Structure 1
Amino acid sequence: MSETQFGMYLKKAREQKGMSVNHLAAASGISNAQISRIENGVRGIPKPETIRRLAEALGEDYGGMMEKAGHISEEHKQQIPEWATHKDKRDFKKMLEEDGEVMFDGIPLDKSDKQRIMDVLTGFFWEAKAMNKRKKPPASEKKE
């Protein structure tokens, strides 16, 4: 979804809730100027933390808004294991929200490089969660 499309989506969601830009700003803690720039496609796609605050203020599904913004693709959604609990999914979303500038050797990574890194991290995250969920052998079976 482009910046303009996400902006139109946000504006429609806000208007459907009967909220003004100022009301959404007060409810989300995001400035009305920033919301206006997002809605007009000037600001670009917001960071996950901004989307979380907007979703909460609008009473919208955070995952749905993340998907609309292009932060979560169908490919990533399919990588979530069936055994993942609500808490596991929340932990993963929290990891994704920590959206700082990603750099290598002092040079910011482009979108393609960031996506490849996120794909690898996604695999590692769910693999680690699966390992933690495996039953540990009873104390009597442990070697001394």
Structure 2
Amino acid sequence: MSEKQIQFGLKIKELRNKHHFTVRQVSQQAGISSSFWSLVENGKRNIPKPITLEKMAHGLREPKEKILELAGLDTSNNNNKENKHVDLADDDVVMSYEGKPIPPEDLEVMRRFLRGGKNNGQ
């Protein structure tokens, strides 16, 4: 257990208690298991990934930015997440789906589909 994990867990527990919620209530609202929630609060789990932190914020009825900040994450980039644009023709960008890189042959299929089934860029 790191000190950061312990401090984060204590802050989450403090917020939950402030709202007079049980672990079961917040975990059900967030859509995550109560055992996972409890482990986070007790500093026995790593600080969750941003998507899970957002679910926890929902369960706590707190702004997601607040929970992300408690976790030590920079919220300035998360606010612009939906505004990031990537050109499918840019070969210098590694595109991914669900955290896994998209293979070049799949990218070519996507390009071909967007061109209306044509093999070349004409």
Q: TM-score range by the shorter chain?
A: 0.5 to 0.7
The residue number in structure 2 matching 1:135 is none
- Offset, 1:34: 0.2
SS at match of 2:48: coil
Counterpart code for 1:51:
L
Residues 99, 5 of structure 1: alpha-carbon distance in 2 compared, 3 angstrom cutoff: farther
TM-score normalised according to structure 1 size:
0.52
The residue number in structure 1 matching 2:44 is 42
Counterpart code for 1:37:
L
- Offset, 1:63: 1.0
The residue number in structure 2 matching 1:30 is 32
The residue number in structure 2 matching 1:89 is 80
Give the conservation status (yes or no) of the 8 Å contact 1:48–1:99: no
The residue number in structure 1 matching 2:63 is 61
Structure 1 or 2, whichever has the larger Rg, is 2
Moved over 6 A (4+): none
- Offset, 1:91: 1.3
TM-score normalised according to structure 2 size:
0.60
Give the conservation status (yes or no) of the 8 Å contact 1:28–1:56: yes
The residue number in structure 1 matching 2:90 is none
Give unpaired runs (5+ residues) of structure 1: 81-87, 103-144
Give the conservation status (yes or no) of the 8 Å contact 1:6–1:45: yes
- Offset, 1:100: 4.1
Cα distance in 2 for residues equivalent to 1:99 and 1:12: 32
Counterpart code for 1:91:
E
Counterpart code for 1:23:
Q
Counterpart code for 1:89:
N
Give unpaired runs (5+ residues) of structure 2: 85-96, 102-122
Residues 25, 44 of structure 1: alpha-carbon distance in 2 compared, 3 angstrom cutoff: same
RMSD: 2.8
Name the count of aligned residue pairs: 86
Cα distance in 1 for residues equivalent to 2:8 and 2:99: 21
Give the conservation status (yes or no) of the 8 Å contact 1:28–1:53: yes
Give the conservation status (yes or no) of the 8 Å contact 1:55–1:61: yes
